[in-house]
Amino acid sequence: MKKFAVNEFYEIISEPITLKERKTVQHNELPEVDDELSVSLRMRIKKHRTHWSTVFRKGNDVTGKCVRTPGLFLSPNDSKMNFRFTGNWNDNVGIYKVGDGLLANKWYHITYTLSDPEKRMDIYVNGVWTAFYSIQNVQMHKVKFNDEPLYIGWFDGEIGNFRYFNWRLSAEEVMKNYLNQRPFC
């Protein structure tokens, strides 16, 4: 029997909100992911924090092992973006400190794409391809997707248009998604 993939997405947060507590989305509420996913969102930080901040992470660290496919974290003091995932060879894989850091009180549109068949992660900021990570050992190394909850929050700022896709968005789809966002004041 042939399996057909259905492209679905779930808009978790539409209008911008300030998260006083983290938001948790259960795995069964999200589109089913086989071997690719994308996350897009708009965010604005109010100020830099003196410790690591989590924008989103799918997985829980209570077992002492990192589970973070996908994950976006902000570095202390400058809010440089750190895009992470878990692989079968390393619990904490990805790109450290993308760009010069987020400016306070400025809206950014962020898109994170991850594909095990293509062995890569691509990052877009405001519709522009900004960074990528490529898995080198393509025969042995695999992305570990998980059935854990998706956690959103733990940073000082606002978030909106948070979408979770069960496929890897193309560059054209990223740009269309970016251009179709309503402007926030």
The pLDDT tens digits for 6-30 are 899 999 999 999 987 789 999 999 9
What rounded mean pLDDT belongs to the chain?
92
**Residue 44, phi then psi, degrees to nearest 5:** -145, 125
∠ CA 143-149-152, nearest 5°, is 100
Query: Which of 108, 107, 111, 106 has its CA nearest to residue 124?
Result: 111
The pLDDT tens digits for 120-169 are 999 999 999 999 999 999 999 999 999 999 999 989 999 999 999 999 99
Domains detected in the chain: 23-179 (2.60.120.200)
Question: Cβ–Cβ contacts within 10 Å for residue 70, how many?
Answer: 26
Tokens of 80: 């440089």
CA–CA gap between residue 97 and residue 73 (Å, rounded): 9
pTM for this entry: 0.93
The DSSP result for 64-97, as a single string, is SS---SSEEEE-TTT--EEEEE-BSS-SSEEEEE
